[in-house]
Structure 1
Amino acid sequence: MDRKLLATSISAILAFSAWADTAYAQQDTTGTAASDEDKKDATDIAAVVVTGSLIPQAQKETASPVTTITAAEIQRQGFRNVSDALRSQPLSTGAVQDNQFSGGFTPGATTVSLLGLEPGFTLILIDGRPLADYPLLYNGQSNFTDLSSIPTGMVEQIDILPGNQSAIYGSSAIAGVVNIILKKKLDGVQFNVRAGGYSDGGGRNERFQVTGGKAWGALDLTFGFQYSQQKPIYGYDRDWADSTNDNPDPDSRYGSRTFIILDGFSNTYYDPGAACDSLRGNFGGSTFRDFRPGRGYFCGSRDEIGYTTLLNEEKGTSFYLNGSYQLNSNAELYGSLLYGINESNSNSGSRFWSPDINGSGGYIWDPVNFRLDLYQHIFSPEETGVGTNMAKTRSNSYNAAFGVRGGFGDSNWDYNAFYSRSQYNLTDNQLWPLTGKIEDFFRNQFLGPQLGTYYGYPVYTPNNAAFYQSLTPAQYRSFQGAIHTESTTWTHNVNLSITNTDLFELPAGSVGVAALIQSGYQVWNNPTDPGIIAGEFWGLTGTQGSGKRANDAIAFEFRVPVFSTLTANISGRFDKYRNIDAGGDSKATYKLGLEYRPIDTLLLRASYATAFRAPDMSYIYAGESGFFTSVTDYYRCSVEEPGPIGDCSYNSFQVKGSRTGNRELESITAKSFGYGFVWSPTQQFDIRADYYNVSIDNEVSDLSINQLLFDEARCRQGQLDINSPTCVDALARIVRNPNSGLQPNALQSVRINPINVSKERVSGVVANVSYTMDAGRAGEFVFTGNYNISHSHIFQRYPGDVPRDLLRDATASSEFKSVFTGDITWNIGDWSATLYGTRYGNTPNYAAQLDDLDNAGTVGPHMVYNANIAYKLNENSGLALTVNNLRNTRAPVDKTYNVYPYYNIFNYNGYGRALWLEYNINFAGK
């Protein structure tokens, strides 16, 4: 659907609606036309503040296209939580990291990517107030907001507003705004219990909720409590992810190398022979003498990979209190508090050891046999003990506000003054081998004393027979150390706003106005265990940093009826940021929206807006941090082992990286425009379609190591101009061994840091349709459909580079080009049933992402269905059965995805079918 098609659609609808309006006018009040009294009632609606505006208004649809998800929809459409509900929306086209990426930096958090833009470009609010950032960094780089701490039971509705919204909300509202609105007024007490699990095993979960409220004269209180727990899902719980035998590439169906000795010159294994026999009990009895094509025999386990968690073990407790007290007819005190405690345990897989990894990449020099060898031992659960490798996080978070609102005497002026604060405290604990102790242990076991170095490699005379021995849990724990970090983020604001919905009269109606003054402070503190910084933990580094930021803002908004059919909405805001000890920045943003209603049933709308995002505090204040990561050495693969990347011995090469922040960063800027229509010829039918276009400049890019290595390979081989900005930068950041001597051209390190350099643009169309049909004795049917198609997503990393279309350049992105959702709800008597479906469009396959042109292709559309059946037992209680992923559809098969768990975990999940039985009872209320 392009602009011409959209324009044609609008013209057709205008013509049809004009005819329809005439037809309706000819009907008398006994037909379908509304009577004068009905029309009066329909327009006599209390004005409320809507997402995207500061001015209270009665119109549901404005110049800003808001998508709303109600609490009832979250339940009947079969979502596990707030995160699932948001990620299923058509606007959420971007791939993101979640629980399945247990080896990432934030396996205990979930987030969302609107319009395919990075999560930090979406501003997530609770009741219009900002949340504190998650203390740990997304992908080890950027700040973002965690959704997993928001309890579903306290949510009234979620509003999603795409595009630039900084003129109302300030920084970060570039991709859009997600406003999570909590329950405010309840009567009585409601209990809700839900329990269930997954049909393929694992993931058993329970949830208990209590919500309620009551008014005592001038005092009105609403409260909520939620407790939930969830067992983990391991790879071994899924028969398509429990073994390397599930690898779609037949040539890769060999075990994990639990015990290997590799010849550093020939890259082949030394055959262990019968030595594997004594190791058979490891990994559930699956260790044996296995064979890898091109490498030889080794001791391995094909089941080792299944000990990774696909879904975390979690526990969560939330408390909520909201209240208001009417001081007099013109003033009301109010306040709210949401407090949560969440625990998350994840297992990123087995720990392993290679000698002196921090200095030599795992290689040692054997002077007796005159050879360079690499040793590797992957520790099994039988050696480590149950649960030893779990990474455990515990968070305490809260979002609080209190204030006063009311009116100035008998005037039309209203005010709202409040203080809000949000804080997130996170503790991270796990056991990890200590460098000194683990090296001493294996020296004593089989290496012997170090005899110096040879060309930088440590020299040993190992006893290889002693190498092939399992450890006891006591031995394993003897070289473990406890990693403990405590991170904190918080933000607070003082806000004063005044509004007047009837400032003065124009011939077309009343002019509305709003003004806002805001002052706030923000803190990010993400230290790393001192032992990590000192290099005490084997092969491990971490991110670190801390900083403070103050901000002040003023904003205004006018709603002006230009004609009886045309209304303009004009807003502007000025923000000033002061990064303590790191400079600052200021930005002015504005937005213009137009609403044209040629007839009562049709709205045409358009908007233009600017926005900005203050640089992430992590990008500014990140300290010197190093890390080890497995990368693909594209250069050595293409030069030394040409062929499929998956078969290259440098496809999973460990390299050391370093990263620091940049205190000279400036704000990211953006502009967006959009237009569309809403047509509602009857109360039972409406259709909406909107075009969006967002352009981002001065974007901060934290350089991708994979992309740097990919670019470096092309630069060295002449596929890119070696004097281009991309090549000059990539070659300066990558350090290799000399091209002579031992391990020529081997990777030593890669250096990255953030800079203001990139541009990005995304455009597309989002459409919605809903229809309610009264079928008489057969009940009522409600049909809805939501669709988003991205036209383009252009990204330019450096000036002078050829812009890349991320929707078509598979090496740069795997986002969805289109997402469609639809549901059918049938209500009849005490029964209600809903079938909800999501269709995700094509994505590039894994070979295309690796630029393997011989095998490049696409992964076909992916469809998932949820179902919900509810029965009202009586006026106050009911039962519901929810099935998530009704057909137990697994992630789409990609025959080129030869990396565990053999599907794209950033686009799909591998949980399978989930079933929940829910009971709800309401005492003395509504």
Structure 2
Amino acid sequence: MMANKTVLVRSLALAFGAVAALPAFPALAQTTGPAAAEQQPMQRVTVTGSLISRADKETPSPIQVLTAADIARSGQTSIAEVLSNLSANGQGALGSGFAGAFAAGASGVSLRGLSVGLTLVLVDGHRMSPYPLSDDSQRQFVDVSSIPFDAVERIEVLKEGASALYGSDAVAGVVNIILKKEFKGFSASAEVGNSQHGGGKMHKVTATGGIGDLDTDGYNAYVSAEYRHADPIKVHQREQYGWASGDWTTRGGLSVLRGVPNESNSFLTAASSPFLYNPATGVNNPASYQFLDPTCNFVKYRAGQCMVRDEVSNLQPESDRMSVLAGFTKKLGEDWTLALKASMFRRESTNGRGLTNAVAFTPSNTFGGYTALVPGQPPRIVNGVPDTRIPAGGINQLGAPARLYGLIPGAGSAAQQNNESTATRFAADLNGSWGGWDIGAAAGYSKVKTESVYSGFVNRVALYNALRRATNPYNPLGGNSAADNAAIVPTFGDKAESELTFAEAHAQRELARLPGGGPLTFAAGLSWYKKELNAPPPDLLAQGVVGNGAAYVFGDETNTAAFAELNALPLQNLELSASARYDHYDTYGNSFTPGAKFKWKAHPALTVRGTFARGFRAPNAAESGISSSTFSFNAIDDPILCADGDRTTAGNVPSACGFVPAFVQTTNPDLEPEKSKSFTLGLIVEPVRNLSATLDYYSIEVKNQINTESGLPDFVPVYARNPAVPIDIADGNGGLVTGVPPVGTIAYAQSSYVNSGGVKTTGVELDLSYRWNAGDIGNFRTQLSLNHMISYKLDQVGVEYELAGTHGPSVVSGNTGNPKNRAQLTLGYEKGPLTLTSTFNWTGSYSGLDPSLGVNDCADIAGSVGGRAYFNNNPNGTPPEYCKIRSFMSTDLNAVFRVNRNLTIKASILNAFDRQPPIDVATYGNAGPQTAYNATLHQAGAVGRYFSLGASYTF
């Protein structure tokens, strides 16, 4: 605690000291003479986090503004990529590189590392319907990957709690994506891009046209359309790098490449050639094997020469994005204005973790079945196959019943999900004045619909029935009928919908002039919204026909709220404000959240500011409605079948050692909302013209956190087990025998949502900007945003863990890493028609440990945190050199040249120095077991050096 306070004190003292040390400070801080006369008064605007308009760009709250020019100069081609590089975006963020996520294909923002569920994302200041597929099937969020790039006017990032004005979810902050208000003329652009190392080829076209001038014609109408396609980036296109090779044999571990036998799979795995195996004669006996394809034999197989080449797994999925935005603004007389907007954002992507056992013949004497999750019914283990062995005779020439290993022909080599998401939105805003009040009213409707098509999932009952047919049995080498293939590997789909309807109104007016000469301004408003979620499971998964039950959610909630804000300038240099909100939910009840802010201009060049806020997050339908899902997060040893954790101990079942169990998630209708308390304290320093710096300390404490109880330290799972059937058992001499264990293998355990403990995070954030006019040389600019996390403490049922700079809390909000430091530095140069920009995106190092999982030893991080088998053969576990995940920085270069008043060309190089991502063996958030990098923090490294070239024409 003393160390944390020391960091804060030193940071504040340094800022104060830097200001005090300037010898000409008072003179430099003021602008006089002709330059001052040329300055125009700032237009009053309403910023995110307040109802009351203001002229001062610096607010009591820390706000980062990304203009359309800033976004264009970044060199990125999607809003999701821009937001992923925010220094305030941390642990729990969701990126498109996590192909196996519950919310497949979507991207979400996690301010202050508190998860996507505690960051509120607005579009034009209004709520948007959340993505129907929640993150980890729990946290609802707005998918920012579908927001059109060229339709954005600016993005305002409020980095403090704002529930007093916005209600639920605004705990860590608010991201307000503001779309174009008006456009006159016509603009078209085209852009192409490609990765140096293959994959990711991109092309994008946009067109915007508008008519009417608000000031002269009294109206403006425009339409903007954008289409973007990106090819996938495959794992095999990066397999030359250590983080993607999958072969750890030279690094103290195993090869986890598909088809390579080793200790972790008991030397039995699906290879490039299907083979029959007689378990009665042992895994090390060549006579136990019959390879059906002559390209492989026992010697090649054991040498790893019959591996299955991965042509499927994605580092970044193929995606298509199309958007249409239409706006109409009309002056209604006097100062009333009506603005209408309609939009359709569509995204299609193919997701999946690549090679999985879902498309392999079952490697055991029996198949225990799948766990069915049918809405309204308890979990059930169904569709087991009591004997999966192929009888002697026919294709089986081993003389005894044998198991069949290999990939199923016609199934491909991966279970895939093609995901199409369409977001539609209609909104109307009416603004004007009446009776001395500035009035705003809005109403709207938004809907997000996802349609998913699943492939590569196997109907095991149909498969083994076909293999056992007396006539024309299913051929493991292929050439089977279309009817067989369709029955064994069916293609199926589902639809999920999320809807939000809202209406709100607010008004503000100046109540009085205070003795100090400043105004006393009051604002108040009412809001109502209804959220509906209808996300049924795909039937074949729900019934346990082709896999374990998929997530489903049904539910709705209605919120009614009243809110108010009071702003006062009692002294010339002092601003005070207070706000409060009362929410009523038809699901759990009521919440009251107050807030207060101040800003004191202690000197013309020095301002002190601070905020205090209460916040909350209401339980959503996935947590308290009709919902269920299956999940897994870290490896365990079966307490009965592998009690000592050694797969070679006589009597142990090797497949029950170091395996990742499944949990069935259940809801809890008695959940209370998560509650937060946050404050910020900061400085605004402007010692000279064009130089501005802000330094803000933040503290956010969340209590009553809604977590799955399986992640709590006192949780004792009750396992549902499959029937006890013949299975491989260690003989104590390094071999296997077939026998019936005392109990069946673990199928799943149930885990409910509970309010448990909480989290408190503190940190310091620095924002620095400077512009320098160098005359004939040109204009220079620099912007720096740096976030340093001082502490991140997780409290679980009275046990506290310090997780800043670790991999935790991997069980709470995704295994994305929790670095203490993130920064973004932008250097720009402008002269005439040329603009050059360099952007440096830096993420600090962090540890692979996760104390919240009880993992405090580096030797355990790969298996116990990431659930990876890289070092299952190493008696010392994970080598110490992989305990720390090194820092990473990508450098993006962007050049824009205005050829004439109509034509502009631009070129970008992302990750210009081709930095590779650091190896992270403790993460599961990436393309699959072959890759060992953090897709949330280091995706730019996985993509590698990326070139793009574009042009735009405006008239």
The bucket for the TM-score relative to the shorter chain is 0.7 to 0.9
Native 8 Å contact 2:229 2:320 kept in 1: yes
Give, as a single letter, the amino acid of the residue that structure 2 aligns with 1:750.
Answer: A
Q: Map 1:555-570; keep pairs closer than 5 Å.
A: 555-570=563-578
After superposition, give the CA deviation of every residue in 1:626-668 in whole Å (9 maximum; x if it has no partner).
568994437566714189xxx9855663644322211111111
> In structure 1, the residue corresponding to 2:461 is in which secondary structure?
helix
> In structure 1, the residue corresponding to 2:99 is in which secondary structure?
coil
Match of 1:524 among 525, 533, 537: 533
Change (3 A) 1:762 1:777: same
Given the alignment of the two structures, is residue 136 of structure 1 paired with residue 151 of structure 2, yes or no?
Answer: no
Give, as a single letter, the amino acid of the residue that structure 1 aligns with 2:223.
Answer: F
Cα separation, 1, equivalents of 2:122 and 2:200:
29
My pick for the range that moved more, 333-342 or 267-276, is 267-276
Q: Map 1:159-558; keep pairs closer than 5 Å.
A: 159-216=156-213, 217-240=217-240, 244-245=246-247, 249=251, 251-253=253-255, 255-256=257-258, 257-259=269-271, 268=283, 271=286, 275-276=290-291, 278=293, 280=295, 300-304=306-310, 306-350=311-355, 351-354=359-362, 356-358=367-369, 364=387, 375-379=404-408, 383-384=410-411, 390-409=416-435, 411=436, 413-431=437-455, 432-444=457-469, 469-470=477-478, 474=482, 475-501=484-510, 503-537=512-546, 539-558=547-566
Q: Which residue of 1 aligns with 2:772?
A: 773
Q: Map 1:668-683; keep pairs closer than 5 Å.
A: 668-683=674-689
Given the alignment of the two structures, is residue 865 of structure 1 paired with residue 930 of structure 2, yes or no?
Answer: no
My pick for the range that moved more, 258-267 or 397-406, is 258-267
Cα separation, 2, equivalents of 1:894 and 1:532:
32
After superposition, give the CA deviation of every residue in 1:781-837 in whole Å (9 maximum; x if it has no partner).
112211101011111222x32444353475746212101111211112222211111
Give, as a single letter, the amino acid of the residue that structure 2 aligns with 1:801.
Answer: V
Q: Which residue of 2 aligns with 1:900?
A: 930
After superposition, give the CA deviation of every residue in 1:511-547 in whole Å (9 maximum; x if it has no partner).
111101111111011101233322222x231111211
My pick for the range that moved more, 800-809 or 197-206, is 800-809
Deviation at 1:58, TM superposition (A): 0.6
Given the alignment of the two structures, is residue 922 of structure 1 paired with residue 954 of structure 2, yes or no?
Answer: yes
Match of 2:805 among 804, 807, 812: 807
Native 8 Å contact 2:388 2:464 kept in 1: no
Cα separation, 2, equivalents of 1:41 and 1:511:
30
Change (3 A) 1:905 1:682: same
Native 8 Å contact 1:167 1:611 kept in 2: yes
Native 8 Å contact 2:208 2:223 kept in 1: yes
Q: Which residue of 2 aligns with 1:796?
A: 795
> In structure 2, the residue corresponding to 1:301 is in which secondary structure?
coil
Cα separation, 2, equivalents of 1:536 and 1:629:
24
My pick for the range that moved more, 185-194 or 254-263, is 254-263
Cα separation, 1, equivalents of 2:837 and 2:9:
35
Given the alignment of the two structures, is residue 76 of structure 1 paired with residue 73 of structure 2, yes or no?
Answer: yes
Match of 2:665 among 659, 662, 666: 659
Given the alignment of the two structures, is residue 64 of structure 1 paired with residue 66 of structure 2, yes or no?
Answer: no
Q: Map 1:51-130; keep pairs closer than 5 Å.
A: 51-130=48-127
- How many pairs does the alignment contain? 855
Q: Which residue of 1 aligns with 2:618?
A: 614
Native 8 Å contact 2:803 2:818 kept in 1: no
Given the alignment of the two structures, is residue 817 of structure 1 paired with residue 846 of structure 2, yes or no?
Answer: no
Change (3 A) 1:490 1:771: same
Deviation at 1:896, TM superposition (A): 8.0
Identity of aligned residues (%): 21
Cα separation, 2, equivalents of 1:363 and 1:263:
17
Cα separation, 2, equivalents of 1:838 and 1:142:
27
Cα separation, 2, equivalents of 1:40 and 1:823:
31
Q: Which residue of 1 aligns with 2:837?
A: 834
Give, as a single letter, the amino acid of the residue that structure 1 aligns with 2:314.
Answer: T
After superposition, give the CA deviation of every residue in 1:213-233 in whole Å (9 maximum; x if it has no partner).
332511122331111111111
Change (3 A) 1:494 1:209: same
> In structure 2, the residue corresponding to 1:75 is in which secondary structure?
helix
After superposition, give the CA deviation of every residue in 1:28-53 in whole Å (9 maximum; x if it has no partner).
xxxx8323x76577472221100110
Native 8 Å contact 1:332 1:406 kept in 2: yes
Q: Which has the higher strand share?
A: 1
Cα separation, 1, equivalents of 2:571 and 2:282:
78
Unaligned runs of 5+ in 2: 1-5, 259-268, 370-380, 393-397, 730-738, 850-857, 866-876
> In structure 2, the residue corresponding to 1:682 is in which secondary structure?
coil
Native 8 Å contact 2:328 2:340 kept in 1: yes
Unaligned runs of 5+ in 1: 26-31, 281-286, 449-465, 709-725
Q: What's the TM-score, normalizing by structure 2?
A: 0.83
After superposition, give the CA deviation of every residue in 1:167-207 in whole Å (9 maximum; x if it has no partner).
01110001110000111132311111111111111111111
Change (3 A) 1:278 1:701: same
Cα separation, 2, equivalents of 1:765 and 1:489:
37
Change (3 A) 1:756 1:342: same
Give, as a single letter, the amino acid of the residue that structure 1 aligns with 2:696.
Answer: D
Native 8 Å contact 1:262 1:269 kept in 2: no
Given the alignment of the two structures, is residue 576 of structure 1 paired with residue 598 of structure 2, yes or no?
Answer: no
Native 8 Å contact 1:420 1:492 kept in 2: yes
Deviation at 1:117, TM superposition (A): 1.0
Deviation at 1:472, TM superposition (A): 5.1
Give, as a single letter, the amino acid of the residue that structure 2 aligns with 1:916.
Answer: S
Deviation at 1:86, TM superposition (A): 0.9
Cα separation, 1, equivalents of 2:342 and 2:716:
49
Q: Which residue of 2 aligns with 1:463?
A: none
Match of 2:701 among 687, 695, 698: 695
Give, as a single letter, the amino acid of the residue that structure 2 aligns with 1:219.
Answer: Y
Native 8 Å contact 2:282 2:288 kept in 1: no
Native 8 Å contact 2:525 2:562 kept in 1: yes
Native 8 Å contact 2:28 2:687 kept in 1: no
Cα separation, 1, equivalents of 2:879 and 2:222:
61
Deviation at 1:371, TM superposition (A): 11
Native 8 Å contact 2:104 2:419 kept in 1: no
Give, as a single letter, the amino acid of the residue that structure 2 aligns with 1:442.
Answer: L
Give, as a single letter, the amino acid of the residue that structure 1 aligns with 2:596.
Answer: L
Deviation at 1:146, TM superposition (A): 0.9
Q: Which residue of 2 aligns with 1:748?
A: 747
Native 8 Å contact 2:116 2:139 kept in 1: no
Cα separation, 2, equivalents of 1:418 and 1:495:
5
Native 8 Å contact 1:511 1:558 kept in 2: yes
Native 8 Å contact 1:769 1:784 kept in 2: yes
Cα separation, 2, equivalents of 1:734 and 1:71:
54
Cα separation, 2, equivalents of 1:540 and 1:478:
18
My pick for the range that moved more, 877-886 or 656-665, is 656-665
Cα separation, 2, equivalents of 1:397 and 1:577:
25
Q: What's the TM-score, normalizing by structure 1?
A: 0.85
After superposition, give the CA deviation of every residue in 1:486-526 in whole Å (9 maximum; x if it has no partner).
11111111111001146444423111111011111110111
Give, as a single letter, the amino acid of the residue that structure 1 aligns with 2:885.
Answer: V
